[in-house]
Structure 1
Amino acid sequence: MSEKPSIRWGIVTVGLISSWFVEDLLIERPDAPVKHIIQSIGGRDLKRCDEFAQKYCPYASPKLYDSYEAVYSDPDVDVVYIGTPHAFHKQNMLDAIAAGKNILCEKAFTINAKEAREVFEAAKAKGLLFEEKVIGDVYRTFADFAIEIDIESLPQTSRYKDLSLGAGTLLDTGIYSLTWALLTLDPGSPGHSEKPIALGIQSHEDGIEVTTSILLQYPSTGRQGIVTSSSKSNGHPNVFCTIWGTNGLIEVEGPTTSLPLSFTVYPKMEGDPNSGSLQRGEGTKHDFAQIGRGFIYEADSTALDVLAGRKENAIMPWSETLHVLDIMDSIRKQGDTCYPGHDESL
């Protein structure tokens, strides 16, 4: 039996998202298509990097650096994973590009589409890889990602409260709700998406966007979507997305839009709604194996692309990243949400 190909990761920053990513990478999976190696970890504090390595990858023995730049310069790193707050993504990626590194960057890719275009232009010049992750005709989707956060009690330096870090629900959680709507409603394919009409409204407290609601419509089909995110309350404990079709509906279950665990398919309701006899038929539930927090899918996809020499992912091409960011830019303009240092030229 031939040995699995391997990919060596450089981890940039030692926050919560990076810890989840590393934990998922190191899960033992007999059917994994590639072996993931934590080659190096970089942060602004070497002690925190050491604590991170001991806790999340105690058997990996990665190199530890007290700067991100050292990770980019490490000749043994194949791909850099960027898990910093999204306000820093653009500069982190430009620095990694300058060092000739392939990159996997968490959502939101950048604060706005303008920054993403700047990153892609730099990547094209270097030739590097970037990746971002039964019911008839679908005609309507609702998706919500709401997690209650007591923002008022947090320090001003919190990423949930500091505008310079991109505080707000749309970039943090709303992007996941939006992704579900685009996946189910868009009549096109990745790289050939139709631009929907997008109407948005946002609520703010102390200058921070705390709730976003988006209404989408695709002109070619009339399909519509409702997308919401909020830090004012928790969402439904089980169902975060409902997809309506001409012959039934699908409810997607899980704690959040970023962690689906199952879905249930229901046939079209029967009866007369005017007489109160409308009934929902029995649904068929489909569970799928949960591997960690789901980061292994983006990691495997990135690794296989790098090993194959591909510079762009077929499922999430650069054009799709820009498509999503353009929609979010439009919503923030309508909602009067601006990030100093990023949005001046929009």
Structure 2
Amino acid sequence: MAKLPTCRWGIITTGLISSWFVADLVLPRPDAKAHHIIQAIGASSLRKSQAFADTHLKDTPHHKPALYGSYAEVCADASVDCVYIGSPHGVHARDCLAAIAAGKNVLCEKAFAINASEARSVFDAARRAGVYVAEAMWLRHRPLVADLRKLLYEEKVIGDVFRATSDFQMYVDMKNAPATSRYRDLELGAGSLLDIGIYPLTWALLMLDSKLPGDGNGEGEGEGETPRIMAAQSFVEGIEVTTSIVLHYASSGRQGVVTSTTERKKGASQIVATIDGTDGFVEVEGGAPSHPKSFTVYPKWTGDEKPQGKRYDYESAQQGFIYEADNTALDLAAGRKESAVMPWSETIRVMEIMDEVRRQGGCVYPRERV
């Protein structure tokens, strides 16, 4: 472990996503690529920080993090190498800019910001400060995704990819949710698209783009193509609750069908994405598009019965945050300022696509009306 790069993390906010991130980092593993230390925890009160540590770090007595009652104290802690931001996406830009102003490296949860303009302002600040900033889209860092892209675009196991679909569904009782809930507060970026729709959108981009940063597979490494977008959105009491998107790639004719809703409860296990090719198809299985656990490659379905497929299983003790944490630690050790997997240009591309979806669908956040 002494030979591995070490990253001392400062955790901002103590909600569910931060608890998942920390839980992954403290689990022991024989194939570790980096040494992770929870150096500091910051919340809106010291009581919340203490409760978080008592709950999620009780089995890691070898290191006690500094506990703070504000985010600013985490950013000011000289022992923190990188700040992990797990706040609602409506305040991501604010929290990123505060960390950057303090000279900290940043790994910020998705969606990276409310819109592409906010994301650009963060990256501009990071460039001026000379610090590392990356969007924590953990799906892109998973070995499952890298292996699947290799099969699709290097080995071409299903021929030429021509379509991908993904749907994320969950139920939120919007009418009875408090006005301060992140599911209802438009200042926090309420709506299905930025919260959960970004995952099926990411699946479509991952499966339909032959070129993506950081993979080097298939037809080469580079920036993804921005597809033509056709979108519709529905609302409950002014909050976007359902989004449907069709993506069309002019260069290849590939199509993606992306949907998200907070109006329907999902099952415990489901097919979270499908990829269709000229010689077969792939089904990705998991609890949700954010939590893929396996995929199955099938030959072309020509008869009445579903053909036999080959399953690739990626069950792990960790949920999957460890991969983005490892890559961040490796990036920092190498002196990089951007993620090789999710560089700034890719975050901007995704934000621009979601901006266009919202433009067509009619979802506007209050600060965008100014």
TM over 0.5: yes
- Of residues 80-89 and 233-242 in structure 1, the stretch that sits farther from structure 2 once superposed is 233-242
**Equivalent AA in structure 2 for residue 127 of structure 1:** G
2:256 matched to 1:225?
yes
Q: d(CA) in 1 for partners of 2:12 and 2:307? A: 49
Q: d(CA) in 1 for partners of 2:2 and 2:120? A: 40
Residue 302 of structure 2 aligns with which residue? 270
- Of residues 107-116 and 192-201 in structure 1, the stretch that sits farther from structure 2 once superposed is 192-201
Q: d(CA) in 2 for partners of 1:306 and 1:5? A: 9
Q: d(CA) in 1 for partners of 2:336 and 2:290? A: 26
Q: d(CA) in 2 for partners of 1:80 and 1:214? A: 33
Structure 2 unaligned regions, length at least 5: 138-156, 214-221
Q: d(CA) in 1 for partners of 2:3 and 2:362? A: 54
Counterpart of 1:167 (choices 170, 175, 190) is 190
Q: d(CA) in 2 for partners of 1:261 and 1:149? A: 24
2:273 matched to 1:241?
yes
CA shift digits 1:144-168 (9 cap, x unpaired):
1101121222211111011111110
2:219 matched to 1:187?
no
Deviation of 1:281 (Å)? 1.3
Structure 1 unaligned regions, length at least 5: 272-277
Residue 122 of structure 2 aligns with which residue? 119
- Percent identity over paired residues: 54
Residue 309 of structure 1 aligns with which residue? 335
CA shift digits 1:252-301 (9 cap, x unpaired):
00010111101111110124xxxxxx443111111113232211011111
Q: d(CA) in 1 for partners of 2:369 and 2:331? A: 35
The 5 A counterparts of 1:41-190 are: 41-58=41-58, 59=61, 60-132=63-135, 133=137, 134-190=157-213
Residue 288 of structure 1 aligns with which residue? 314
Q: d(CA) in 2 for partners of 1:142 and 1:262? A: 16
Q: d(CA) in 2 for partners of 1:344 and 1:114? A: 13
Residue 11 of structure 2 aligns with which residue? 11
Alpha carbons 1:142, 1:225 under 8 Å: kept? yes
CA shift digits 1:21-65 (9 cap, x unpaired):
111110101110111000001111110110101111122311011
Q: TM-score, normalised by structure 2?
A: 0.89
Residue 146 of structure 2 aligns with which residue? none
DSSP 3-state at the match of 1:244? strand
Deviation of 1:2 (Å)? 5.1
Q: d(CA) in 2 for partners of 1:327 and 1:235? A: 25
Point out 4+ residue stretches in structure 1 off by more than 3 angstroms: none
Deviation of 1:189 (Å)? 2.3
Residue 154 of structure 2 aligns with which residue? none
Alpha carbons 1:144, 1:235 under 8 Å: kept? no
Residue 353 of structure 2 aligns with which residue? 327
**Equivalent AA in structure 1 for residue 361 of structure 2:** G
Alpha carbons 2:25, 2:322 under 8 Å: kept? yes
Deviation of 1:187 (Å)? 3.0
**Equivalent AA in structure 2 for residue 109 of structure 1:** F
CA shift digits 1:164-204 (9 cap, x unpaired):
11110000000000000001112332252211001110000
Alpha carbons 1:267, 1:280 under 8 Å: kept? no
Q: d(CA) in 2 for partners of 1:305 and 1:73? A: 22
Q: TM-score, normalised by structure 1?
A: 0.95
Aligned length: 338
Aligned CA RMSD, in angstroms, stands at: 1.3
Residue 275 of structure 1 aligns with which residue? none
Residue 150 of structure 2 aligns with which residue? none
Deviation of 1:210 (Å)? 0.4
**Equivalent AA in structure 2 for residue 116 of structure 1:** A
Deviation of 1:323 (Å)? 0.3
